[in-house]
Amino acid sequence: METPIHSINNLFAQLGLPSDTAAIDNFIAQHRPLASGIELADAPFWSGAQASFLREEVREDADWAEIVDQLDARLRG
């Protein structure tokens, strides 16, 4: 498995959210578990711009896609 280009901290910064590890852990704790029937980008806690970014990165299998998938898994765990 290749090492992701971006970190989860970078993803949160890209989304305009606090990106230190404690803030990320708090965000995940506050918003999990994400229901299985909801796509990550459709979760109600994202702004329109954040949702569009997440959706596009996964759809295009872009550089951010692996980290977005990791965030999705953490929110469902």
List, in order of start, the domains of the chain with CATH numbers: 8-76 (1.10.10.1130)
Mean pLDDT for all residues in the chain: 94
SS (H, E, C) 9-60: HHHHHHCCCCCCHHHHHHHHHHHCCCCCCCCHHHCCCCCHHHHHHHHHHHHC
**Rg (Cα) of the chain, in Å, rounded?**
12
The owner of tokens 């596009």 is 56
Q: Per-residue pLDDT tens for 1-36? A: 455 689 999 999 999 999 999 999 999 999 999 999
Predicted pLDDT of residue 16: 98
Predicted pLDDT of residue 3: 59
Q: Per-residue pLDDT tens for 46-62? A: 999 999 999 999 999 89
